Amino acid sequence: MTKPILPQEVASAVVDPVAYGQWETLHEQLSWARANAPLAVAENHDHDPFWLVTRHADIMAISRDPQRFANGIRPTVLTNRDGEALARAATPNNDGHLIRSLVQMDAPDHMKYRLLTQSWFMPKNLKIVEERIRQIARETVDQMLAQGGACDFARDVAAHYPLRVIMDILGVPPEDESRMLMLTQQLFGPTDPELNRSREAITSAEQAIAMLNYVIADFENYFGALTAERRANPREDIATVIASATINGEQIPDREMSGYYMIVATAGHDTTSASTAGAIMELAKNPALFERFRDAATDKAGLIEEAIRWTTPVQHFMRSAKEDVAIGGQKIREGDWLMLNYVSANRDEDVFGDPFAFNPDREKNQQIAFGFGAHVCLGQHLARMEMRILMEELLPRVKSLALAGEPARVESVFVGGLKRLPIRFEAA
Ligand code: HEM
């Protein structure tokens, strides 16, 4: 059977950071793919060919089968051919993973490492940090209201709140937060000229790898010092759990240790910032919805779940086939690389009625923004809780909310969302 090949405009869009910045055009291409070639190969000049997986059901099937669709073999985030070759040359065993965190691991390591912190992120444990999070939410709202009726919600509010929460849980003091924020934005959005370290567009794989290595070295220095400190003075925080963790009776190696800090420190805020800003954008556009959710008695769960579907902050992850597999009517060969496009799956007409409408009243919102299966987002309960608490604290204190300019999205293929959301508001 020959492999179906995607039209060039679809193949080009799904690898183009600018297309993710202008998401309407991207959605047109993804809708076309779902209807006409839901599992087909994207061929681009700079990238190895990969299967673009656009339907919800196929992404679920692949995600629930980590034995056959692995994370550790090829890059887990789209990387061009030169970038992958350079990363392989720059890493131990040529594995190409500049960072080795949960995301890059397969069985048996993956579950051993995941279990070290998993209980911290379960709803039962999160109750313990709920009051602390509420306090951070209140301070965040105070600061927003102090801005006197207008702000860039993405930059001034959404970027800081989840960062404070995750840093608090991790054990990083407030004075180091701005460094963490800058590093995360560089790690996740290095293609966006407004966010990368040099403030110029990255034009070559060498430049991208050099910048990423610089950012990773910064993280490693920081967390190396934190580990030493927590081993000497243990506390009730995740840094202490990671610093004192053992696997098979041994301390975890440095590379995996810094990878762990990095994934917790980074996965936990730009993502939640994006879904929080997305929720506020929709409320700012729709006064009736805003009125409804301002009421303290209105349950916020539907709003939160729909904002997460709507924004899909993590836009894709890659998997690699460990053996030949038939899926979605196609024959995937051992070694094939696949892009799980969550942006597309979260607009799948087969799963969501009227998928391009923002509707907090969906009966059973099967959004797949947190992924699925063995690697499903470790922080999903925390993300929902943070968003709920901020909405509970913020909405009743504001009596009007409106857009005050054009929102703008991050130009990144991986973690996306709003980088600018100008709003006007009146304190209640
Ligand atoms: C993994 C999305 C917030 C920590 C993931 C994955 C996705 C995702 C798509 C990969 C799932 C898969 O491969 O099946 C999101 C979104 C968030 C969010 C959309 C916010 C709205 C958080 C938070 C944390 C976090 C607050 C806090 C620590 C992690 C970690 C992993 C992960 C550690 C790796 C899990 C593994 O590989 O076993 N997330 N995430 N995320 N997320 Fe999140």
Residue spans of the domains in the chain: they are: 8-427
**Where residue 405 falls among pLDDT bands split at 50, 70, 90?**
very high
Nearest of 248, 243, 244 to residue 108 by alpha carbon: 248
Q: What does the pLDDT read at residue 202?
A: 62
**Where residue 407 falls among pLDDT bands split at 50, 70, 90?**
very high
> Do residues 286 and 359 touch, judged by C-beta distance below 8 A?
no
Q: What CA–CA distance (Å, rounded) separates 346 from 362? A: 13
Q: What CA–CA distance (Å, rounded) separates 318 from 50? A: 9
Q: Report whether pLDDT(74) > 90.
A: yes
The 8-class DSSP code of residue 395 comes to G
Q: Report whether pLDDT(109) > 80.
A: yes
**CB of 267 closer than 6 angstroms to any ligand 1 atom:** yes
Q: DSSP letter string over 46-71?
A: SS--EEEE--HHHHHHHHT-TTTEES
> Residue whose CA is closest, atom 36 of ligand 1?
375
**CB of 272 closer than 6 angstroms to any ligand 1 atom:** yes
Q: Report whether pLDDT(263) > 50.
A: yes
> Residue whose CA is closest, atom 17 of ligand 1?
271
Q: What does the pLDDT read at residue 199?
A: 47
Q: Report whether pLDDT(184) > 60.
A: yes
Q: Which residues contact 282 (CB under 8 A, 6 or more apart)?
A: 289, 307, 310, 358
Ligand 1 pocket test: pick from 377, 410, 413 the residue with the most ligand atoms within 8 Å of its Cβ. Answer: 377
Mean pLDDT of 150-177: 94
Please give the model's pTM, rounded to 2 decimal places.
Answer: 0.95
Q: Assign 341 to helix, strand or coil.
A: strand
Nearest of 50, 47, 11, 46 to residue 29 by alpha carbon: 11
For the question of an ipTM over 0.95, the answer is: yes
Tell which wins on pLDDT, 418 or 213.
418
Atom of ligand 1 nearest to the CA of 117: 33
> Do residues 102 and 263 touch, judged by C-beta distance below 8 A?
yes
**CB of 313 closer than 6 angstroms to any ligand 1 atom:** yes
**Where residue 200 falls among pLDDT bands split at 50, 70, 90?**
low
Q: What confidence tens digit (pLDDT) does each residue in 266-307 have? A: 888 889 999 999 999 999 999 999 999 999 999 999 999 999
**CB of 371 closer than 6 angstroms to any ligand 1 atom:** yes
Ligand 1 pocket test: pick from 188, 264, 309, 370 the residue with the most ligand atoms within 8 Å of its Cβ. Answer: 370
Angle in degrees, CA 40, 44, 46, rounded to 5:
140
- Tokens 């970038």 sit on residue: 83
Q: Which CATH superfamily is domain 8-427 in?
A: Cytochrome P450 (1.10.630.10)
Q: For the chain, what percent of residues have pLDDT higher than 70?
A: 96
**Where residue 123 falls among pLDDT bands split at 50, 70, 90?**
very high
Q: What is the CA radius of gyration of the chain?
A: 21
Q: What does the pLDDT read at residue 366?
A: 98
Q: Tell me how far apart the terminal alpha carbons of the chain are, to the nearest angstrom.
A: 64
**Where residue 164 falls among pLDDT bands split at 50, 70, 90?**
very high
Q: What CA–CA distance (Å, rounded) separates 223 from 239? A: 9
Q: Assign 39 to helix, strand or coil.
A: strand
Lowest-confidence pick of 88-92, 135-139, 248-252: 88-92
**Where residue 262 falls among pLDDT bands split at 50, 70, 90?**
confident
Q: What confidence tens digit (pLDDT) does each residue in 336-362 have? A: 999 999 999 999 999 999 999 999 999
**Where residue 149 falls among pLDDT bands split at 50, 70, 90?**
very high
Rounded to the nearest angstrom, the distance between the alpha carbon of 305 and the centre of ligand 1 is: 15
